[in-house]
Amino acid sequence: MQRAAIILAAGISKRMNTKLAKVLHEVCGRPMLDYVIDAVRGAGVEKIYAVVGFGADTVKQRYAGSNDIEWIIQPEQKGTAHAVMCCRELMKDFTGQTLVLCGDGPLICAETLKTLIDKHNAEHASATLATAVLDDPTGYGRIVRDAYGNIQAICEHNNCTPEQLKIREVNPSYYLFDNTVLFDFASKVRLDKAKGEYYLTDVLAMIIESGHKVIAITALRPEEAISVNSREQLSDAGKIMQRRIQKNLMENGVTIVDPPNTWIDARARIGQDTVIEPFTCIYGEVVIGSNCRIGPFGYLRDGANIGDNVVLEANIEHRVKE
């Protein structure tokens, strides 16, 4: 089965107060869009359609040379269903499966997308969405199920009844569709006159009402549901990603003496039995060999290449040689 992905990356984040495209804001040294693209590729997707708008030229330039990405311009940001419809002409002959994800969700994992795909195939569904259960679901659309556990609707937070507001299962907007079904129904979505947008959740509602099989699986860890719409949320995502980076390094033989007081770029490579002392910052594409000791209060710049058995003592700033 062939698979494509539509990544929605056109939005303007007024809350971030920025001139930079939101998806290019960095999480642990890499644009948040990088992580979404990596997850999609890791799930076996062969073609990516990235919908861009605000800062489109800058985003496209950042990924120049990525041959599996097709760039789609959304000239006006009229909602998620409208963004998907911008891909219709290029995808009209595609009969496989299409993931639809948001480019501002950097904490999604390839394994989660694989679970979504596997469940979609096993259930022979027309549409499948991955959900999360949150302690505080405020602001998220709630997953409304019937007595048998079948999804009946996605109710946006502001439209929920008092009873629905108690639902903790939410929709973080990770979808898999049969492509033909997706565009058949996306073309029928009506404008939400109050907000002036076309919503992808309305596509799902119509697919459910038509009798097609739609399933919702609780596949996301709560942290994967986080989308970045403010500088505070960007910081929160960075803290979670930093824990992932350090956990992976420690599992591969690196000692990090004081993880909360250490910062390591996602692009850094560190060898076995190296010790990272507290208050160390490793920024950029840094390579550190095996059996080294870095810090405390060490700072390594982008491009630093440290061999094996090296000790960089306190307050040493390693400069890249010209």
> What does the pLDDT look like over 82-101, one tens digit per residue?
999 999 999 999 999 999 99
Catalytic residues: 15
Host H or E run for residue 3:
strand 3-9
Residue numbers in the chain where pLDDT is lower than 50: 321-322
pLDDT confidence of residue 125: 97
pLDDT confidence of residue 104: 96
**Domains detected in the chain:** 3-225 (3.90.550.10), 252-318 (2.160.10.10)
Neighbours of 196 (CB within 10 A): 11
pLDDT confidence of residue 322: 45
DSSP 43-74: TT--EEEEEEBTBHHHHHHHTTT-TTEEEEE-
- Of 100, 96, 171, 74, the closest CA to residue 130 belongs to 171
- Of 223, 231, 171, the closest CA to residue 22 belongs to 231
CA distance 196 to 44: 35
Record the pTM.
0.94
Query: Which residue type, as a one-letter code, is found at position 284?
Result: G
pLDDT confidence of residue 313: 81
Q: List Cβ neighbours of 280 (8 Å cut-off, separation of 6 or more).
A: 262, 263, 294, 295, 296, 297, 298, 299, 300
What 3-state class would DSSP assign to 89?
Answer: helix
Tokens 């009844």 belong to residue: 161
pLDDT confidence of residue 230: 94
SS (H, E, C) 196-265: CECCHHHHHHHHHHCCCCEEEEECCCHHHHCCCCCHHHHHHHHHHHHHHHHHHHHHCCCEECCHHHEEEC
**CB 320 within 8 Å of CB 301:** yes
- Using omega within 30 degrees of 0 as the cis cutoff, is the peptide bond preceding 106 cis? no
pLDDT confidence of residue 319: 56
DSSP character for 21? -
Residue 120: φ, ψ to 5°: -60, -45
